[in-house]
Structure 1
Amino acid sequence: MSTPEPDDSPDPSLTCDTCRACCCQLEVILMGDDDVPRHLTRQDRWGGEVMRRLDDGWCVALDRDTQLCTIYERRPGVCRDFLMGGVECAEERAHLDASGRVIHLLRGPL
């Protein structure tokens, strides 16, 4: 008897309208075929190219008023692959407090 595969389908109750863009506080490593405007990137301490983040940890490409990506059509592949309502999305949402701020166990609120 085989073990059932875990359900990878997105949770329809998790939408971008209700998450307060928590994925926009993650480190985004750029790959060779990403076409992000250069002024929105920086080099990390290992020499890799990453999306720049503001002092409070938010991605520099996020419009803080609308919570929408300002470079959506040119967003990195990592962002394109981040499935709304998927496993990674649900894991990040688990770090939101009641006000929607991201809580990291070792660093506290961002």
Structure 2
Amino acid sequence: MNIDVKDISDPVINSEVTCSNCQACCCRLEVMIVTDTGVPDEHISIDEYGAETMLRLDDGWCSAVDRDTLMCTIYENRPWICRLFEMGSYECISERKELL
């Protein structure tokens, strides 16, 4: 196993992920909408094949993320995959390492 020295010394990457330090790294991922959870139309993008994804703005972030708080503005209606993405999971930590 290779250990990156940056990972060892970086408190952001190594700290336990909580709501207060989350940084919303997953909100830069492409999110397919596969079930109807009530995502408002203004946050949906439709690709050339008709597939629905969460709209991402020019900065790469999901359009539903409040840029000041990094919190989801449609939390109760967020897509299914967002509901399954677990804070602090392997996938979460992996995205944090890549983006931070």
| TM-score with structure 2 setting the length | 0.78
Of the structure 1 ranges 70-79 and 45-54, higher mean CA displacement relative to structure 2 is found in: 45-54
Q: Which runs of 5+ in 2 are unaligned?
A: 1-13
1:46-61 residue pairs with structure 2 within 5 A?
Answer: 46-61=49-64
1:29-48 residue pairs with structure 2 within 5 A?
Answer: 29-48=32-51
Task: Confirm whether residue 68 of structure 1 aligns to residue 71 of structure 2.
Answer: yes
Q: Which has the higher strand share?
A: 1
Q: Alpha-carbon deviation of 1:33? A: 2.6
Q: Which runs of 5+ in 1 are unaligned?
A: 1-10, 98-110
2:25 is matched with 22
| TM-score with structure 1 setting the length | 0.72
Q: Alpha-carbon deviation of 1:49? A: 0.2
Q: What SS does structure 2 have at the residue aligned with 1:35? A: coil
Please list every run of at least 4 consecutive aligned residues from structure 1 whose deviation after the TM superposition is greater than 4 angstroms. none
Q: Alpha-carbon deviation of 1:12? A: 8.0
* Identity %, equivalent residues: 53
Q: Alpha-carbon deviation of 1:13? A: 1.1
Q: Alpha-carbon deviation of 1:46? A: 3.0
From 67, 81, 84, the equivalent of 1:81 is: 84
Q: 1:12–1:85: 8 Å Cα contact kept in structure 2?
A: no
Q: Which has the higher helix share?
A: 2
- Number of matched pairs: 87
